[in-house]
Amino acid sequence: MRITVSEEVSDRSKMIRSTVITVIFTAVFLILALTLWAWESLPEVETSPIDILNDINPFIAGLVEALVMLGIFIFLSVTVINLRMFLSEVRAGWVEVILVFIVVVAMALAMFGSAVGGVAAIFCLGFVVYLYLLQE
Distance between CA atoms of residues 128 and 6, nearest Å: 34
| Cβ atoms within 10 Å of 45's Cβ, excluding its own | 13
Q: Where does the pLDDT of residue 127 fall: very low under 50, low under 70, confident under 90, or very high at 90 and above?
A: very high
Q: Which residues of 81-90 are buried (b: 16+ CB within 10 A; e: fewer)?
A: bbbeeeeeee
- Residue 44: predicted pLDDT: 67
Distance between CA atoms of residues 9 and 56, nearest Å: 52
* Segment among 26-35, 62-71, 85-94 with least mean pLDDT: 85-94
Question: By CB neighbour count within 10 A (0-12 exposed, 13-18 middle, 19+ buried), where does 26 fall?
Answer: buried
Distance between CA atoms of residues 101 and 95, nearest Å: 10
Angle at 123 between CA 117 and CA 66, to 5 degrees: 45
Contact 100, 77 (CB under 8 A): yes
Residue 78, classed as helix, strand or coil, is: helix
Residue bearing the bigger pLDDT, 52 or 96 = 96
Average pLDDT over residues 53-75: 92
